[in-house]
């Protein structure tokens, strides 16, 4: 027994359109969301510092390892 509904191409297009569009796209206010109001914490500045420290440590171990 087939329980699928047969839909016309127009009904299929409307269904896909409804599924792709957010429900409240017109009522969305991103400036009122707490994530949008938070400032950057500065953690993005930590990655280059950590990379430089790691490179310096690797070079120090490499030179000290070959010095013996």
pLDDT in tens, 5-40: 677 888 888 877 777 766 555 566 767 777 666 666
Report the pLDDT value the prediction gives residue 68, as an integer from 0 to 100. 56
Cα 21 to Cα 16, 17, 44, 49: the distances in Å are: 9, 6, 33, 42
What average pLDDT does the segment 43-62 reach? 91
Overall residue count recorded for the chain in this entry: 68
Rg (CA), the chain: 28
Place 1 in a pLDDT band, splitting at 50, 70 and 90: very low
pTM: 0.39
Report the pLDDT value the prediction gives residue 26, as an integer from 0 to 100. 58
């Amino acid at each position: 027994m087939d329980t699928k509904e047969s839909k016309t191409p127009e009904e299929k297009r409307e269904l896909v359109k409804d599924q792709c569009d957010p429900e409240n796209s017109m009522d969305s206010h991103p400036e009122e969301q707490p994530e949008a109001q938070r400032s950057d914490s500065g953690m993005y500045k930590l990655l280059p510092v950590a990379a430089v420290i790691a490179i310096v440590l690797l070079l120090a171990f490499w030179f000290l390892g070959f010095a013996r």
